[in-house]
Amino acid sequence: MLGRINHIALAVPDLAAAVERYRSSLGATVSEPQALPEHGVTVVFVQFDNSKVELLEPLGEKSTIAGFLTKNPDGGMHHICYEVTDILAARDHLKGAGARVLGDGNPKIGAHGNPVLFLHPKDFFGTLIELEEVK
């Protein structure tokens, strides 16, 4: 059911500083910032040959990332995203296996323009899981 790892997401308190660190210290290629109001974040992607790192900054005080950063003021790993070819089939399979889908259970459009869902971290050993449908 799962495909490759699409990205690992890191919550950061200062997106511009994080982008500068990845560019200057690691020589990384970093995308332009993209605001995602539906998700309450601004994101950039650090590109690698085999995957991406997503840097997340809160977009507004009600952002779940703002809450995460209150508990982890220096930032940290927020979630891991796996690719699936059929997000509805994956959702139904996981729900049938007892996993909890966050939100209303319906996919939303993510940063790559593809449907995404999040799975409760308590069902996956404390790790928030994002599923992204890719064709």
15-41 pLDDT, tens digit each: 999 999 999 999 999 999 999 998 999
69 neighbors 14 (Cβ within 8 angstroms): no
Tens of pLDDT, residue by residue over 93-128, are 999 999 999 999 999 999 999 999 999 999 999 999
pLDDT at position 1 over 90: no
3-state secondary structure of 15: helix
The domain ranges of the chain are 5-133
pLDDT at residue 61, as a whole number = 82
- In which region does residue 88 sit, left (phi positive, over 0), alpha (psi from -120 to 50) or beta (all else)? alpha
The closest alpha carbon to 39, from 96, 113, 122, 97, belongs to 113
Q: Rounded CA gap, 57 and 59, in Å? A: 6
Out of 54, 83, 130, 133, the active site residue is 130
**What does the angle CA 68 – CA 125 – CA 82 come to, to the nearest 5 degrees?**
80
Check if CATH label 3.10.180.10 holds for domain 5-133.
Answer: yes
Residues found in the chain: 135
pLDDT at residue 62, as a whole number = 86
- Tokens describing residue 104: 């209303």
Active site residue 57: no
Task: Give residues with Cβ within 8 angstroms of 103, minimum separation 6.
Answer: 117, 118
Tens of pLDDT, residue by residue over 36-68, are 998 999 999 999 999 999 999 999 888 989 999
pLDDT at residue 16, as a whole number = 97
Q: Are strands 52-58 and 41-47 parallel, antiparallel or unpaired?
A: antiparallel
